[in-house]
Structure 1
Amino acid sequence: MKDAPIVFQAVISHSNDPDTLSAAIELIEHSQRQLAGAIAQTGILFAAPDFEHQVLLRHISQAFPHLQLIGGSSDAEISSEMGFQEDSCVLVLFHSDEIEMVVGIGHELSQNAAQATATAIAQAQSQLTQPSKLCITFADGLTQDGNQVLTGLQAVLGDHFPILGGITSDQMRFQQTRQFFHNAEINNAVMSDAVVVLLFAGPLQFSHRTAQGWTPLSQKGEITKVGGTTLTEINGQPTLEFYRPYLNGAAPTVEYPLAIFTAPDNEQFYLREPIRSDPMTGSLTSTASFPETGTVQIAYGEREKLIAASQQGFIQALADYDGNHPAIVLLFSCATRRVVLGTRTTEEYHVVQSLNQLQLPIIGFYTYGEIAPLNYNQPSEVHHATLVSLIIGT
């Protein structure tokens, strides 16, 4: 007799009701109908910045008393229930008898990222009975360099451990983002300057891919002076001088990120987007650090190429999936992609959904930085202007 299939259930609820209490009730009632009596063990919540987040968390946790939950504020939200939405909230709840799912939180990222990340992982791992296989994380990228967060997680989990997720966002205000956390010890925490993690262990299968689609605009240059998240010089000149001929002297914006090549003889790159510039020093600042040295090139986004890349990335993630029963798709896309795609942003979701022949539930959000390996089985990186597709199941 064949072994019974491993149960791994993921149910999604999505509300665009502007009233926080009404939205919470909608999420809860829809989730309860789908669970049909199964116990929700863990969850992920994404919500626009203007919701009363503590109200959302309190009502969700009261409705699901065994729940551990992480999440954060979002630029926009995605789900198979409502597609692409702005000013909404979306919840996924997980249930499994065989797969372990536990959460952890680290505070005061800006003071000590290594300690905060180590605390979050230790808190989660203390609940596991077997080695963890996958980490999903959300963190504040306005108070701490996203690379410092990732480096801290990798210091504990290992350089090649699969870490995926995103930097929480606030609809391009760049003022304050929120991280959500709930477990038996810490109730309904809505924080800033924090990192939250969800660890999976047991018979889990997953696959992931990144998608970019950005086109080189400029000649290549060499980084010659950098200080963490601030890039001061390219080719021995102020960074803004490198941009000047291509933008007619205008200040660089997120629509013109820098492609940073992984090696001088390699055409693969990750992206860094400028969130502000300083005309006095000629520098620009991002939400994740730049390498001390490296080759860079200004890039720009063509809508057709961005959408085509999103489609191809999901195709690759599907092809890489080795399990028999995929359960959910998580999408982490960049707020910059939403800005560039404009009225065509919904197409990024629709090209993924059009390939979703198994009708898997989909959930995601638009971030200030995406965390995933650039290539399969490589160390995770912090990306900008990128779409990450993650498929989880058994």
Structure 2
Amino acid sequence: MRVWQTVFVPSAAEGSPQPVQQQADLVLVFGSIAHFDAPGFATRLAEAFPGAVLAGCSTAGEIVGDGVLDESCTVTAIRFDRGSVAAAEAGIAAIDDSQPAGEALGEALAARPGLSGVLLFARGVAVNGSALIDGLVSRLPAGVPVSGGLAGDGGAFLRTLVLSPSGVSDARAVAVGLYGDGPHLGLGSVGGWEPFGPARKVTQAVGNLLLQLDGEPALNVYKRYLGDYARDLPASGLLFPFELLNGNHDSVGLIRTILGIDEEAGGLILAGTVEEGFYLRLMHASTDGLVDGAEQAGALAAASTVSDAGKAGAGKAAEGDRLALLISCVGRKLVLGDRVEEEVQAVADRLGAGTLLTGFYSYGEIGPMRDLVDCRLHNQTMTVALLTER
């Protein structure tokens, strides 16, 4: 596997990258809304990488090397020695389209033999990320690793864009299938947030709209705990997500971010679904906690790669490059502030020299649960997918 990368900054690219023509199998592109909106954006990429699968999305910040950029565009090209790729696309015109879109993506990818991994990118607003992933996974062979994220728009939460072989769209999801016994995804996803306050039961919820906690309007409960921060809702909701607990008040490994509020219904609009009968507990974070969580995610991805390579018949890692896809939540970026690069550097240090990094700050991270197999929509995590070739 060979990987090479080009970064276009605003002053140099003026919103539209023009890479030099090269041969690649897969090209991952992450950048600002301005880049994706530029006339001829997708056409120029297709001309620069003839025959390659194009996939990516707009962001709330770009991860490059061991740093973080804004208003840039990163183009990362991959050529496999012993594998192939194919893309599937599905429209998401409204939230209710999310699960059917996921099912369509899964069916398309599974129809081709030898599927070994999936990268998924989708619009970041007007989407039910949990339903999209559930639909996708329901149609995939058991145990196929899935990673990816929901697009961003610099924190505006108005209009996000997805790049696929058909071009750029604000109402689409694209899934990239990795095929053959060569490509391998090692996954890790960790938060680093700390819980506070009591656990409260979800007594009424519809999809990703949380209406009641312990029989009281959820918005009232949330405002009471936030105190002065409640004045800045919904933006301040990124700083105080919920931890999802089971009936025994044990963490299930999922965090839910508040994306909006419904004053009339007294509800909270979450980035993913919650179910009645589960419990939620507020969380907050320190810089050190988030950086430690990012390092743990990198360690899990690296360990997963080593473990799978040691299985019978898996083969050894081939000579070549390693690519780490880092997808972190925009809420973490807000909390970390000027220290945001520290979480990226922590992952880079854990993965070591010879690993190229790309990725973005998202409106939802797609990755494994603690068993490193079961895929879910995460919020407020650092999710790492380490792509190698065996």
TM-score, normalisation: structure 2: 0.89
User: Could you say which residue in structure 1 is the equivalent of 2:119?
Assistant: 136
Residue 3 (structure 2) pairs with residue 10 (structure 1)? yes
Residue 160 (structure 2) pairs with residue 177 (structure 1)? yes
For these two proteins, the number of residue pairs brought into alignment is: 370
Shift of 1:54: 5.0
Shift of 1:262: 4.6
Root-mean-square deviation over aligned CA pairs: 2.1
Q: Secondary structure at the match of 1:361?
A: strand
Mapped contact 1:206–1:321 kept (Cα < 8 A): yes
User: Could you say which residue in structure 1 is the equivalent of 2:33?
Assistant: 49
After superposition, what is the alpha-carbon deviation per residue over 1:338-381, rounded to whole angstroms, capped at 9, x for unaligned? 01111111111111222332321111111100011122343111
Shift of 1:144: 1.9
Q: 1:247 aligns with which of 200, 218, 226?
A: 226
Residue 215 (structure 2) pairs with residue 236 (structure 1)? yes
- For 1:154, the aligned partner's letter is V
Structure 1: how far apart are the matches of 2:354 and 2:136?
33
Mapped contact 2:253–2:370 kept (Cα < 8 A): no
Q: Secondary structure at the match of 1:149?
A: helix
After superposition, what is the alpha-carbon deviation per residue over 1:242-299, rounded to whole angstroms, capped at 9, x for unaligned? 2244222624521100111255252343111111113333211023222232011010
Q: 1:272 aligns with which of 231, 256, 268?
A: 256
Of stretches 348-357 and 86-95 in structure 1, the one that deviates more from structure 2 is 348-357
- Structure 1 residues 70, 54: CA separation in 2 closer, same or farther (over 3 Å shift)? farther
Shift of 1:312: 1.9
Structure 1: how far apart are the matches of 2:116 and 2:276?
31
Residue 315 (structure 2) pairs with residue 320 (structure 1)? no
- Structure 1 residues 18, 232: CA separation in 2 closer, same or farther (over 3 Å shift)? farther
- For 2:267, the aligned partner's letter is S
Structure 2: how far apart are the matches of 1:372 and 1:83?
22
Q: Secondary structure at the match of 2:296?
A: helix
Residue 203 (structure 2) pairs with residue 224 (structure 1)? yes
Mapped contact 1:20–1:55 kept (Cα < 8 A): no
Of stretches 162-171 and 265-274 in structure 1, the one that deviates more from structure 2 is 265-274
Mapped contact 2:123–2:171 kept (Cα < 8 A): yes
User: Could you say which residue in structure 1 is the equivalent of 2:43?
Assistant: 58
Shift of 1:319: 2.1
- For 2:78, the aligned partner's letter is F
Q: Secondary structure at the match of 2:85?
A: strand
Runs of 4+ that moved beyond 4 A? 18-23, 122-126
User: Could you say which residue in structure 1 is the equivalent of 2:374?
Assistant: 379
TM-score, normalisation: structure 1: 0.88
Q: Secondary structure at the match of 2:101?
A: helix
Residue 101 (structure 2) pairs with residue 120 (structure 1)? no
User: Could you say which residue in structure 2 is the equivalent of 1:5?
Assistant: none
- For 1:68, the aligned partner's letter is V
- For 1:296, the aligned partner's letter is L
Of stretches 202-211 and 260-269 in structure 1, the one that deviates more from structure 2 is 260-269
- For 1:240, the aligned partner's letter is L
Shift of 1:125: 4.9
Structure 2: how far apart are the matches of 1:150 and 1:358?
33
Structure 1: how far apart are the matches of 2:197 and 2:249?
17
Mapped contact 1:335–1:367 kept (Cα < 8 A): yes
Tell me, which stretches of 5 or more residues in structure 1 are unaligned? 1-7
Q: Secondary structure at the match of 1:50?
A: helix
Structure 1: how far apart are the matches of 2:122 and 2:84?
22
Mapped contact 2:271–2:379 kept (Cα < 8 A): no
- For 1:153, the aligned partner's letter is L
